[in-house]
Amino acid sequence: MKKTGIFKAMKLCMDYKKTNSTQREKLRSDRLKDVVNHARNNSPYYNQLYKDVPHNFSLSDLPVTDKKSLMENWDNWVCDRGLKLADVERFMEDTSNIGSFYNKEYMVFTTSGSTGNPLVAVVDKNANNIMGGISACRSFARKQDLIAFAKKKGKTIGVFADGGFYLANSSVRNKLKTMPWKKKQVAVSSALYPIDTIVKQLNDFQPAMLGGLPIKPGTAD
């Protein structure tokens, strides 16, 4: 698949906003087909799962899968045939690896396990850049947000579940490891801390942007 840097990803997001509904539908369809064909050609699991999917398919034609099935077929699910779940799990045993690249290419993360079936996933640098570009464009959707962000010298903090390979936590830790000069601009607090501790950290850091995870009412004290 084509390599995409974070700035190119941001430009693609901005270009998308300028397209009409017909152009957007074609772009979504083309990208979906690229992803599905890549999975078919490189993942034995998806090759079998999609064997009856017609050539001209839509999203609704794709068989549904779930985290439990993906974990049971992990070694055959991922598209890089050199990746093995046992090796990735050994990498995850050392929590100092949170935010580090596995095999110098993949960021490792897990889902929260709220459904009882946590998923271990790997994201290559290309996908990581695309996620970063999308996130940046969403964050600065309004001009006043970008102005406020600049006035605060680009300071942003996330309040996430810390201590694990969760996507949000891994993403922030990855940024701090790959761009250590941003430590005065980017920080993370733990959602597991007492509220008073989190509030103090936020007041001390004085961020322009606050990131966090939505919590369903009644699921936390």
Give the pLDDT mean for 175-187.
Answer: 80
- Residue of 158 and 57 predicted with greater confidence: 57
- Residue of 96 and 164 predicted with greater confidence: 96
Q: Which two three-digit tokens encode residue 4?
A: 């995409």
HEC states along the chain?
CCCCCHHHHHHHHHHHHCCCHHHHHHHHHHHHHHHHHHHHHHCHHHHHHCCCCCCCCCHHHCCCCCHHHHHHCHHHHCCCCCCCHHHHHHHHCCHHHCCCEECCCEEEEECCCCCCCCCEEEEEHHHHHHHHHHHHHHHCCCHHHHHHHHHCCCCEEEEECCCCCEHHHHHHHHHHHHCHHHCCCEEEEECCCCHHHHHHHHHHHCCCEEEECCCCCCCCC
Share of the chain above pLDDT 70, in %: 95
pLDDT band at 216 (very low <50, low <70, confident <90, very high): low
pLDDT of residue 55: 85
- Whether the pLDDT of residue 221 is over 50: the answer is no
Give the pLDDT mean for 137-151.
Answer: 76
pLDDT in tens, 83-142: 999 999 999 999 999 989 999 999 999 987 777 788 999 999 888 888 888 887 877 767
pTM: 0.77
pLDDT in tens, 47-68: 999 999 988 899 999 999 999 9
Share of the chain above pLDDT 90, in %: 46
pLDDT of residue 19: 93
pLDDT of residue 128: 84
User: Do residues 122 and 107 touch, judged by C-beta distance below 8 A?
Assistant: yes
User: Do residues 183 and 123 touch, judged by C-beta distance below 8 A?
Assistant: no
